[in-house]
A and B are shown apart, each in its own frame.
Chain A
Amino acid sequence: KQEVTQIPAALSVPEGENLVLNCSFTDSAIYNLQWFRQDPGKGLTSLLLIQSSQREQTSGRLNASLDKSSGRSTLYIAASQPGDSATYLCAGEYDRGSTLGRLYFGRGTQLTVWP
C-alpha cells in the first residue's frame, strides 16, 4: 500500500517568509507528481505537475522539485502572502498498467500566513 507523508501537518507564519513544504512516498518509483491547493469547502486546484521526465517545475512564486531516488518532493513558496493560506496536498502517480492515473494523496499541510 502506498503511503504518502506530508510534513509539517500545519504551519503558521508571518507574511513575507519563504516556506518549504515536504512530501514523501514509501514507494519512490513515482511517475508523475502534482501539488494541489485546497481552500476550505472547495475542490482542489492544481498548482504544479512534475511529469515523468522532469525533476522540477516553477510557476510564479512556487517551485516544486522531485527526487525520484528517495521519493521525496518539496514545494517552495517564496515571499508568502495571506492569500497563500490554504491546505496544500501532494499526490503521486505510478506507471503500473491499469493503475496509471490513480493518484495517492498525502493528508496535506494546512498553511496560515498572517499579515
Chain B
Amino acid sequence: DGGITQSPKYLFRKEGQNVTLSCEQNLNHDAMYWYRQDPGQGLRLIYYSQIVNDFQKGDIAEGYSVSREKKESFPLTVTSAQKNPTAFYLCASRIQGQVIFGSGTRLTVV
C-alpha cells in the first residue's frame, strides 16, 4: 500500500538535545511538507520541498532544519534552538493538488 510513514509515533527530548523525526513516502510524490500542530491552533508550516535537493522555509522555520536527499525521504530535525518544541508534527506529500498526511509524531520535552 502506498502512503506516508512517520516515525517514531512518540518522542521525548531532553532540554538542549537535537532530535530527528522521520518521514518516508512511497507515493512517488515530488512535494513534501512539515507542519506543526498545537492545541487550539491551526496547522503551521515549518518547511517544504518541491523537488529533491531543494527546500524552502515556511512560517515557523526557526529552530528546525530539514534535508531532501532522496525523493522518498524528508526528515525534520528539531534543534536545541527551538524553545518550545512540544507539539504534534505532521508530514505530508502532494501531487496534482491532492495532499496526503502521515499519522504524526508527538514530541514532548522532558
Contacts and interface: CB of A to CB of B under 8 A. Distances in A.
A107 B42 contact: yes
Q: How large is the interface on B (under 10, 10 to 19, 20 to 34, 35 or more residues)?
A: 20 to 34
A101 B92 CA distance: 11
Interface string B88-104: 10101010011111111
B87 to A, nearest CB: 13
Given A49-B97, A51-B97, A107-B40, A101 B56 contact: no
- Which secondary structure dominates chain A's binding surface? strand
Contact of B102 (A34, A43, A102): A43
B41 interface: yes
A115 B40 CA distance: 26
B50 A98 contact: yes
Contact of B101 (A43, A49, A106, A107): A43
- Which secondary structure dominates chain B's binding surface? strand
Interface of B: 6, 31, 33, 35, 40-43, 45, 48, 50, 56, 58, 88, 90, 92, 94, 97-104, 106
Interface of A: 4, 32, 34, 36, 41-46, 49, 51-52, 89, 91, 93, 98, 101-103, 105-108
Given A101-B48, A105-B42, 19 more contacts: A34-B98, A41-B104, A41-B106, A43-B90, A43-B101, A43-B103, A44-B101, A46-B98, A46-B99, A46-B100, A52-B97, A89-B43, A98-B50, A101-B33, A101-B94, A103-B92, A103-B99, A105-B35, A108-B42
